[in-house]
Amino acid sequence: MFLHGTSKINNKGHLEIGGVDTIEIVKEFGTPVYVYDVALIRDRAKGFKDTFEKLGIKAQVAYASKAFSTVAMVQLADQEGLSLDVVSGGELYTALAADFPVDRIHFHGNNKSREELEMALEHRLGCIVVDNFHELQLLAELCEIKNVRAKILLRVTPGIEAHTHDYILTGQEDSKFGFGLQNGQATTALKTAIDSDYLDLLGVHCHIGSQIFETTGFILAARKIFTQLKEWKESLGFESKVLNLGGGFGIRYTQEDDPIPASQYVEEIIAEVKDQAEKLSMEVPEIWIEPGRSLVGDAGTTLYQIGSKKDVPNVRKYLAVDGGMSDNIRPALYEAKYEAILANRALETPEETVSIAGKCCESGDMLIWDLPLPKAESNDVLAVFCTGAYGYAMSNNYNRIPKPPVVFVEKGKAQLVVRRETFDDIVRLDLPLKTKVNN
Ligand X SMILES: Cc1ncc(COP(=O)(O)O)c(C=O)c1O
Ligand Y SMILES: N[C@@H](CCCC[NH3+])C(=O)O
Per rule CB under 6 A, is residue 155 in the interface with ligand Y? no
Q: Which helix (DSSP H) or strand (DSSP E) does residue 236 occupy?
A: helix 216-236
Binding residues for pyridoxal 5'-phosphate: 248, 290-293, 390
Site for ligand X in 151-210 (CB under 6 A): 170, 207, 210
Among 180, 247, 300, 404, binds ligand X (CB under 6 A): 247
Residue 18 or 247 having the CB closest to ligand X: 247
Name the residue nearer to ligand Y (CB basis): 212 or 407.
212
Among 14, 44, 330, 359, binds ligand Y (CB under 6 A): 330
Q: Interface with ligand Y includes 168 (CB under 6 A)?
A: yes
SS3 assignment for 338-406:
CCEEECCCCCCCCCEEEEEECCCCCCCCEEEEEEEECCCCCCCEEEEECCCCCCHHHCCCHHHCCCCCE
Distance CA 71, CA 15 (A): 27
CB 382 within 8 A of CB 340: yes
Instruction: Report if residue 292 touches ligand X, rule: CB under 6 A.
Output: yes
Of the candidate residues 6, 187, 196, 210, the single one contacting ligand Y (CB under 6 A): 210
Measured distance between the N- and C-terminal CA atoms of the chain, rounded to whole angstroms: 64
With CB under 6 A as the contact rule, the residue among 15, 40, 67, 245 that binds ligand X is 67
Q: How far is the CB of 389 from ligand X (least distance, A)?
A: 6
> Which residue number, 389 or 417, has a Cβ lying nearer to ligand X?
389
For residue 143, indicate whether it is catalytic: no
| Closest C-alpha to 269, from 249, 294, 292 | 249
Interface residues for ligand X in 397-426 (CB under 6 A)?
A: none
Nearer to ligand X, 162 or 356 (CB): 162
Q: Angle, nearest 10°, between helix axes 185-195 and 216-236? A: 50
Binding of ligand Y by 172 (CB under 6 A): no
Please, which of residues 364-403 interact with ligand Y by CB under 6 A?
390
Dihedral pair phi/psi, residue 158, rounded to 5°: -80, -5
Environment class of residue 241 by beta-carbon count within 10 Å: exposed (0-12), middle (13-18) or buried (19+)? Answer: middle
Contact 59, 87 (CB under 8 A): no
For residues 85-104, which are near ligand X according to CB under 6 A? Answer: 85
Q: Which residues pair with 244 in a beta bridge?
A: 205, 288
Catalytic residue among 127, 143, 361, 386: 361
Q: Tell me the number of residues near ligand X by CB under 6 A.
A: 18
Alpha carbon 83 to chain centroid distance? Answer: 14
Cis ω on the peptide bond leading into residue 32 (within 30° of 0)? Answer: yes
In this complex, which beta carbon is closest to ligand Y, that of residue 290 or of residue 410?
290
Interface residues with ligand X (CB under 6 A) are: 64, 67, 85, 108, 170, 207, 210-211, 246-249, 290-294, 389
Interface residues with ligand Y (CB under 6 A) are: 66, 168, 210-211, 330, 390
